[in-house]
Structure 1
């Protein structure tokens, strides 16, 4: 069947919608290069002073280091926990596997502020507030559901006959998993790492409940800065975060391809 040509009206509507969705990003970029002492659009003068101010701000750089380390640890744990769990749910097909998957992914259905408040109440009883361990556990609550969804979809899309063929040739279950399953689900693993890293690095609401004077993340530091200042520093940081996100997406695209990574 021949595809119907897209009408000019539909193309125009799609263009307007894309511009509407990208408007905040488009506005942030010029504001970040403002030479003014407060946010104004369009800027009367142009400068890179706020990028320099960010790299000279010890608190912001410390928060950046914390967010980066936190995202790396959370990504590693999400993959280490999610991969065997996803494999067991998909391949072992034990009773209640679907219910268990729904339970593990339930945090995706809750408003983040409700989830953050629940974690706050629980962690307060165990002295985990304002600690790196508490942040790791709190972020795992929201990254593990994403990891499980991506990995279960990736493993379910792998024909089991491939693993069975390797087993009939004498390969042990561990060898089958290491030499057959892992290479074939590499796109799903890469997608899990990218998604977990970005979700953890950008998480603000739960981090607001768990951070303290001794430790803070970059999104929380940005929120605190906006609360007391109206300068374009946050716009400059936002542009850097946009660049980071694009870099991660490009790495995924160049390594395995976006379609293979995020589409079954």
Structure 2
């Protein structure tokens, strides 16, 4: 009984301690003074106004949104084609191909950033939006692949067979049966890829240029030179945005598509 009680105490302590740093940042963002402090004292929206009125921050925000949106679409389309090949191929080939798709997860982001720096420099697209888009697609591809792959594995083959037996062509079966049935997995991949791309900083900081810089990288560079609460205000905005995206994801399709379906024995 004593061990169970201590386990519950430890669990509640963990629940309260995990979000504590985020709560400190959120509260500090309402500080009136020109430096981050907790508790903030007098409350003010001064730093949110500065964030929304500074063209440098807004430009970084627009670049991050555009990069995340484009990367999510490209990653999801690529992941869908990859998952389709893996699920409907022989087992040995599928395992090798799936390992290759998931490979970016295995590399440390710092090492991946150095490798991508060499790759983009070789193709002369370093510091460009196209270069960042390519790298973000590589980073988010494994995370887009997973829900689509699970969704395809849950698909009942008899549905497609019934469509074909009723006279539908292969492409008609694909668009009218397969795609609608795996739509929840596709939506999950889109939203999750968008969140990951929008918040990515470790690899991106190796690849940004003077004219293309994402908002997370701007925050990282700014915090090294200045400690004004505008960084806390921006961080709070990003946290709320990410939470809304996750709630939207859960509301629309749920998060069950990251769980491998039970295979028949």
TM-score range relative to shorter protein: over 0.9
Contact residue 75 and residue 138 of structure 2 kept, 8 A: no
Are 1:145 and 2:142 an aligned pair?
A: yes
Report what 2:90 is aligned to. 93
Distance 2:59 2:130 in 1: 17
Are 1:132 and 2:129 an aligned pair?
A: yes
Mark the runs of 5 or more structure 2 residues left unpaired by the alignment.
Answer: none
Distance 2:188 2:179 in 1: 14
Mark the runs of 5 or more structure 1 residues left unpaired by the alignment.
Answer: 1-6
TM-score in terms of structure 2 length = 0.92
Distance 1:49 1:96 in 2: 57
Deviation at 1:71, TM superposition (A): 0.5
Distance 1:174 1:21 in 2: 49
Contact residue 71 and residue 193 of structure 2 kept, 8 A: yes
Distance 1:131 1:164 in 2: 46
* 1:66-145 pair list within 5 angstroms: 66-93=63-90, 96-145=93-142
Deviation at 1:13, TM superposition (A): 2.2
Report what 1:217 is aligned to. 214
The match for 2:22 among 25, 47, 54 is 25
Contact residue 191 and residue 262 of structure 1 kept, 8 A: no
RMSD over aligned CA atoms reads 1.7
Are 1:251 and 2:255 an aligned pair?
A: no
Equivalent residues, number: 258
The match for 1:170 among 163, 167, 171 is 167
Q: Which moved more, 1:165-174 or 1:24-33?
A: 165-174
Moved over 6 A (4+): none
Distance 1:46 1:116 in 2: 40
